[in-house]
């Protein structure tokens, strides 16, 4: 039997927890350890696993095949990505779209120098949605691509709502417009404004004595976050927030609509309906860890993206088995 | 400016015609010639292009970067696949699922010996649907995959209907069951019988004096083709057949439904709504011709499948451009 792929987890928030759950679903992998900046003895794991201070990563290079970086894109990954790509094969979910080219360069150099493989920006967007944008455009070059997000909880917009004075708690859901989706699915290739594609729905708990109307106004007029959308604000109590809005569902659609001739329209659609956004993202990271391990063994080093990874590398099955069973 | 990718078309049926249309949509490609077993001077092309007898392929090896094989899987490709893989980089749509492993071997050996790259079984099923079955299983290992076809015209089943005594003409549409799709989309992971997944709908023109009831009975009880399905037969006249059933629409769904934890369900869906089945298949072949050209330049020779092709290789954009624009 082949040796299991030895995985390390750097960072134990929602994503790290999801990676631990995903490893348990993949019999060809094992979890070597969870590495944290907190006191490892204080870290509560969802299921038992070795816990280490993150500084131990300097010494564990011969014990881990792939290190999955589960930190955030704002401050964790810009530091950890280049640092650990010099020591390990890595997978991360860097998702600040505009900074990906720059991030790629900072990770590529140390990974190449160390003979390591570093897969950046995996997940579903960037990630599976990006792959489907590329496939769609390549298969139907005379066409238009549309990405819709939701219905789902947006972490960034929920944070923005919670920063409004008078708000004690709250969440924001992004809702794709059914009318817009229907037009796209019909192959009409419509031009859609920001307002026509998505609505935003907020559930807010007020602080004692806060002015509901002022809070509502502050939210719906907030620049960049809400002013270009039709936004609804519903006020609820703290118990309702905890009971009905604790999950992190998300998803969306990538639709490519195009013509292969003047007469013939074709529509390709990829959609996700996710019960848990972080758990799905984590599952994607773990599948790409398998691919990264194989790419490194094949001598493909340096930074890579999901565009560089052949689909078969994600599967535990051999190429011959995939041809016989899945083609 | 980079030289265009020079494409040859072997065989000019629906697929060859579609490949010609697809090349016109891809500015980085040019059509070198259409190669036919018929008299090339008699061949009517949809738009002007050089026409050659297929025997000329023995002599044009320095004029073509990728030869797209547009023959059928039953008798053309088993002969042409191995033969032309010894002379050219090739792409084909071999779609007899059960024979793919054997076909792969017969193409792999001559391609490897000649330093050529041969992409077999491209299209949408096998092809894009297969890719999505692999992605789905890898991302959600604890789950079930469902493939539904239609609503679409099935060539094989239409041929079977037309072979029934008393039938002058006809077509068969495969219809996926909405009830079954709804259960799968809801993440219920149902066990579905053949009858529960698809219905079959036939439109038939009778020969003069044929017994409608006998024809209907012969169709709905036909082994393998119809006996396991709920099949309806509607009798129409020849004009209606020509007017309303000349297009070749098809499509379908690949749905993966799975759990990332006991609490959380996730559903991934890939769907195609195709105005023209052969034109879409041809577009896929042409995008894979680009990938094959690049793989050969990178030294990746021998038989390949869609599982071996990284998504970025299908796009005319560079890796850096894809990272900046599409990730």
Q: Which residue has the tokens 């008699």?
A: B42
**Rounded average pLDDT over B104-118:** 98
Residue % of chain B over a pLDDT of 90: 97
Cα distance from B140 to chain A (closest Cα, Å)?
Answer: 7
**Rounded average pLDDT over A293-299:** 97
The answer on B63 and B49 residing in a single domain is: yes
The answer on A271 and A130 residing in a single domain is: yes
Give the containing element (helix H, strand E) for A234: strand A230-235
> pLDDT-based confidence at B1, cuts 50/70/90?
low
Contact B101 A138 (CB under 8 A): no
Nearest by CB: B134 against A26, A305, A312: A312
* Strand-pair partners of A172: A202
Residues A277, A152 contacting (CB under 8 angstroms)? yes
Contact A266 B273 (CB under 8 A): yes
The whole-chain average pLDDT of chain B stands at 96
The answer on A233 and A157 residing in a single domain is: yes
Nearest by CB: A25 against B141, B311, B319: B141
The whole-chain average pLDDT of chain A stands at 96
**Rounded average pLDDT over A8-28:** 97
Statement: residue B2 has pLDDT above 80 = no
The residues, ordered by sequence, that sit 6+ positions from A11 with a Cβ below 8 Å of its Cβ are A35, A36, A37, A54, A69, A70, A71, A76
Question: Which has the closest alpha carbon to B68: B49, B82, B50, B88?
Answer: B88
CATH classification at residue A165 = 3.30.360.10
Contact A139 B275 (CB under 8 A): no
* Chain A residue whose CA is closest to B323: A101
Entry pTM: 0.96
The answer on A158 and A27 residing in a single domain is: no
Statement: residue A60 has pLDDT above 60 = yes
**Rounded average pLDDT over A70-80:** 95
What range defines the domain where residue B132 resides? 126-275
pLDDT at position B77 is 97
Q: How far apart are CA B226 and CA B202, in angstroms?
A: 10
CATH classification at residue A318 = 3.40.50.720
Is A121 one of the annotated binding-site residues?
no
The answer on A283 and A243 residing in a single domain is: no
**Model pLDDT for residues B132-159, shown as the tens digit of each residue:** 999 999 999 999 999 999 999 998 899 9
The answer on B257 and B286 residing in a single domain is: no
pLDDT at position B155 is 86
**Model pLDDT for residues A248-282, shown as the tens digit of each residue:** 999 999 999 999 999 999 999 999 999 999 999 99
**Model pLDDT for residues A135-192, shown as the tens digit of each residue:** 999 999 999 999 999 999 998 899 999 999 999 999 999 999 999 999 999 999 999 9
Nearest by CB: A134 against B22, B260, B315: B315
Q: How far apart are CA B297 and CA B308, in angstroms?
A: 15
The answer on A265 and A312 residing in a single domain is: no
- Residues of chain B neighbouring A281 (CB-CB closer than 8 A): none
Q: How far apart are CA B206 and CA A156, in angstroms?
A: 64
End of a domain among A254, A275, A296?
A: A275
Question: Which has the closest alpha carbon to A311: A322, A324, A325?
Answer: A322
| Per-state percent for chain A, helix, strand, coil, to nearest 5 | 40, 25, 35
**Rounded average pLDDT over B10-15:** 96
Contact B100 A324 (CB under 8 A): yes
pLDDT at position B104 is 98
Statement: residue A17 has pLDDT above 60 = yes
- Which of A187, A260, A325 would you mutate first to test chain B, the one with the most B CBs within 10 A? A260
Statement: residue A321 has pLDDT above 60 = yes
The answer on A242 and A139 residing in a single domain is: yes
The answer on A267 and A285 residing in a single domain is: no
Statement: residue B222 has pLDDT above 90 = yes
Domain count, chain B: 2
pLDDT at position A1 is 54
**Model pLDDT for residues A231-256, shown as the tens digit of each residue:** 999 999 999 999 999 999 999 999 99
Statement: residue B66 has pLDDT above 90 = yes
**Model pLDDT for residues B69-88, shown as the tens digit of each residue:** 999 998 999 999 999 999 99
Contact A279 B266 (CB under 8 A): yes
- Residues of chain A neighbouring B308 (CB-CB closer than 8 A): 310, 312, 319
The answer on B151 and B32 residing in a single domain is: no
Cα distance from B248 to chain A (closest Cα, Å)?
Answer: 10
The answer on A136 and A233 residing in a single domain is: yes
Contact B311 A312 (CB under 8 A): no
Q: Which residue has the tokens 């072997």?
A: B10
pLDDT at position A141 is 98
The answer on A291 and A225 residing in a single domain is: no
- Residues of chain A neighbouring B189 (CB-CB closer than 8 A): none
Q: How far apart are CA B175 and CA B152, in angstroms?
A: 7
- Predicted ipTM of the assembly: 0.95
* Chain A residue whose CA is closest to B187: A273
- Which of A189, A274, A327 would you mutate first to test chain B, the one with the most B CBs within 10 A? A327
End of a domain among B275, B291, B313?
A: B275
Contact A260 B22 (CB under 8 A): yes
């Amino acid at each position: 039997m082949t040796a299991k792929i030895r995985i390390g987890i750097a960072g134990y928030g929602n994503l790290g927890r999801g990676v631990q759950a995903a490893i348990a679903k993949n019999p060809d992998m094992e979890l070597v350890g969870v590495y944290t900046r907190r006191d490892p003895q204080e870290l509560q794991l969802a299921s038992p696993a070795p816990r280490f201070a993150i500084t131990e990563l300097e010494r564990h290079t011969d014990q881990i095949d792939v290190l999955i970086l589960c930190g955030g894109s704002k401050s964790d990954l810009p530091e950890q990505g280049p640092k650990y790509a010099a020591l390990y094969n890595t997978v991360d979910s860097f998702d600040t779209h505009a900074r990906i080219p720059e991030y790629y360069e900072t990770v590529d150099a140390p990974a190449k120098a160390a003979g390591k493989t570093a897969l950046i920006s995996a997940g579903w967007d960037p990630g599976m949605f990006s792959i489907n944008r590329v496939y769609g455009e390549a298969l139907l070059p005379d066409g238009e691509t549309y990405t819709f997000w939701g219905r789902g909880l947006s972490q960034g917009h929920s944070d923005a709502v919670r920063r409004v004075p008078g708000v004690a708690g709250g969440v924001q859901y992004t809702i794709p417009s059914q009318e817009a989706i229907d037009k796209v699915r019909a192959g009409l290739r419509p031009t859609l404004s920001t307002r026509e594609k998505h609505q935003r729905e907020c559930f807010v708990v007020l602080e004692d004595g806060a002015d509901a109307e002022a809070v509502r106004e502050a939210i719906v007029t907030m620049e960049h976050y809400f002013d270009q959308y039709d936004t609804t604000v519903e006020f609820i109590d703290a118990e309702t927030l905890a009971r009905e809005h604790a999950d992190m569902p998300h998803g969306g659609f990538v639709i490519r609509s195009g013509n292969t001739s003047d007469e013939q329209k074709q529509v390709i659609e990829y959609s996700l309906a996710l019960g848990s956004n972080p758990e799905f993202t984590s599952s994607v990271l773990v599948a790409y860890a398998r691919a990264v391990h194989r790419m490194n063994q094949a001598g493909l080093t340096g930074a890579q993206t999901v565009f560089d990874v052949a689909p078969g590398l994600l599967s535990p099955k051999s190429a011959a088995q995939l041809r016989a069973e899945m083609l």
